């Protein structure tokens, strides 16, 4: 495994994050897929994702004639995070360290997303789902670097309020 992982706990945290991210992505695609065969599960998944996404059909991709459980921009967020996690062990250590110490990259990567979203909110243009997907994906690709850095800094047995 990568030189970015210094112990088994870090590998387990990465794998756990990757698995959770994959499960979230699976749920997004399973919601429309289960619509006919397991409607209760489909409704459950749509409801679960409704707390984090507006789920507007005109801003969504479709599978089997049904919208995915999240809009195209949210799909970009979840896909980008997953792809960033997946590629993390193969990134050069020097690149990861530089990114970790430059949180400004999150703001820079958000510029296309913000411009696109503001243009839509102000009624200046309508963005197709593909563009929404790309802007979400571009932003979220960098998040795992900061997520995994935060996990590395968590010390077992310590809580925010504990002394010492």
pLDDT of residue 160: 58
pLDDT of residue 163: 54
Rounded Cα distance between 41 and 6, Å, is: 40
Alpha helices in the chain (DSSP H): 8-33, 39-50, 72-87, 93-100, 104-121, 129-140, 143-153
Between residues 27 and 158, the one the model is more confident about: 27
- For the stretch 74-102, what's the b/e string if a residue is b when 16 or more beta carbons lie within 10 angstroms of its beta carbon? bbbbbbbbbbbbeebeeeeeeebeebeee
Between residues 97 and 77, the one the model is more confident about: 77
* Mean pLDDT to the nearest integer, 46-71: 96
Is the pLDDT at 115 greater than 60? The verdict is yes
pLDDT of residue 31: 97
* Mean pLDDT to the nearest integer, 95-118: 92
pLDDT of residue 78: 98
Rounded Cα distance between 129 and 36, Å, is: 25
Between residues 154 and 142, the one the model is more confident about: 142
Pick from 52, 50, 70: which is nearest to 61 by CA? Answer: 70
pLDDT of residue 103: 86
Please compute, for residue 130, the number of CA atoms within 13 A of its CA located in the half-sphere on the CB side. Answer: 0
By the 8 A CB rule, do 117 and 102 touch?
A: no
Rounded Cα distance between 145 and 151, Å, is: 10
pLDDT of residue 162: 56
Task: Supply the DSSP string of 108-124, one letter for each residue.
Answer: HHHHHHHHHHHHHHTTS
Between residues 103 and 3, the one the model is more confident about: 103
According to DSSP, the β-strands at 66-67 and 62-63 are antiparallel
* Mean pLDDT, all residues of the chain: 91
How much is the pTM? 0.89
Rounded Cα distance between 11 and 155, Å, is: 15
Residue count of the chain: 164
* Structure tokens given for 105: 């990259």
Residues of the chain with pLDDT > 90: what percent?
A: 79
């Amino acid at each position: 495994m990568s030189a970015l992982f210094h112990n088994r706990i870090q590998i387990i945290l990465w794998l756990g994050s990757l698995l959770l991210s994959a499960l979230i992505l699976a749920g997004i695609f399973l919601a429309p897929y289960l619509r006919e065969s397991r409607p209760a599960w489909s409704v459950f998944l749509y409801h679960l994702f409704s707390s984090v996404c507006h789920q507007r059909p005109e801003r969504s991709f479709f599978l089997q004639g049904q919208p995915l459980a999240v809009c195209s921009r949210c799909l970009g967020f979840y896909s980008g995070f997953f792809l960033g996690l997946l590629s993390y062990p193969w990134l050069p250590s020097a690149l990861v360290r530089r990114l970790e110490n430059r949180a400004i990259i999150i703001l820079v990567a958000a510029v296309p997303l913000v411009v696109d979203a503001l243009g839509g909110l102000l009624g200046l243009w309508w963005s197709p789902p593909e563009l929404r997907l790309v802007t979400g994906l571009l932003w979220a690709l960098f998040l795992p670097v900061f997520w995994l850095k935060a996990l590395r800094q968590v010390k077992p047995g310590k809580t925010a309020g504990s002394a010492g």
